[in-house]
Structure 1
């Protein structure tokens, strides 16, 4: 009798495991509606031979990341509208916001992940739907927040492939130099023109794609990890800042709060930089007008001319970038939208010819253009 019960129990467990395994492989897609409109919030100067800096601040949500075609549709629609307004040419440098590639961890998951309202719930669906990948990633995770590390590490290879396919394709389709915001990957590197995820710590990195879709340089790592992600993203100061040649001039990329620190601009100036792209992700609804959070976990922040809470986020970002690079052309581009309960805020701006240019405030997606 005991053998019979044990056999029956074993069969039930096997059936349950098989059913769970089958369930994890199912990825039905829900309906998708999205606003493809974008407003021109800043258009400074006149077209010339030097080209232009074109910032795109997309309005994105988790459902935009359910498959790569959806995300491409929205970004291509923005670029097409810019082209129709005469803002796209072979000397255009397009800049996208920080972490636009990081959210690719959500690609190809169950509908429930996109429908919940809390990021914690979305992460639980990610773990339940990918038990083996998540378990293996936890074994290799590092940092103080191993769970957050594992969520990114478990899909790193897929994310790297998706990131290059998407942004290389857009750069080639529109014939522009494209600064593809940033993506968090373990020790990323480019070999034979292909982006790979390594096996080391996580870095917040950006790639620049040429007008033929090829990669320019190696992934540029964020030098000073922001306070909110420092528990699982490592500083990139061991890898030097780099400058790449584009049809519009020599370009450097400073990710997020890297744009605050004068030493970063000096390192780029030593390489004869002419243009600076600054992709940014500022979390929290209405945080643009809230007191500046600074970065108390970085020693270099103590040397900045502003103190935490002394001014608003808007004033801090604008003052620090202008003070650090008054003679360079630069553009700071912010993510917009809502990722579960995590909102994104910020209004992009540019520095050119010793002055600062801020566009008109818009609630939706925005274009910011500066003719060089």
Structure 2
């Protein structure tokens, strides 16, 4: 059209306009390509999102260590986003509404990242070179030391087992790999977001406090220390190979059930009302081919059948008082004579005059000195 205009042709504008038109065409084509690519690109995966959120949490921790007062509100927003994203995945993973809400989460992550960057710039910090507080460093050091102690103890137990007969060494090899899997799980933000989402729902429905569902873990060597302190506990657990079973109330990710089954070769059952924990424990048991020897139930422990129980472990450290009292009453009514109870306190002995066979202090995820008792 430009070339058919005599005036523009005489003024030699046509070549220039043609060049501009060609450039514009290239630009428009590039823009259209980018638009299609953005439209067709897969959305960020949950792992990508939770990785970004976890990175933001780490940056918040470093800002807090530097004395930045505004960071706690930002941290709460990050956790809330993680819980929201996890809820979307659990409740409506493929819906249009979930897709839109997912987009809002992505936008919020970008906004929060920008806010954190401004805070870092304001106090002269770089995201990858910010100082770590003594408190945070101590927490990291304690966990690293606890895990190192567990690894060393497991290696020693496995070496000792290889000198003897039976399948203990093979089972402990499996346990070592299984523990690595559980460690990786409990360190993920996705995992904790799922727990927070479930805790809020359970508190609203069941009337328990959210503290009632607090997560913690007991390393293998601490669990073994209790058995070393109480021969009666070892005898009772071994007796489950012929008849009976080990039961854990509040089985969490399955740690204590896995310990019993893979150390003594006995059946164990875990009861846990926090659904994500039960699902994950079951998946781990299946992936390591533990079969029916290690079973997990997403059910209220007050409904558990104790007719075959030889050893019942309570993870009652943070339970609400009313729940603890109900569990104690159930044990008093339903446990057979000579059955044993393991707990993170000896309060059962006071409440129902159970005999205390042993007490010992062990390191756990929340404390370097947690008392455990056998009754």
Interval containing the TM-score (normalised by the shorter chain): 0.3 to 0.5
Does 1 or 2 have the higher relative contact order (CA < 8 Å, sep 6+)? Answer: 1
Q: Give the TM-score taking structure 1 as reference length.
A: 0.32
Rg larger for: 2
Higher helix content, 1 or 2: 2
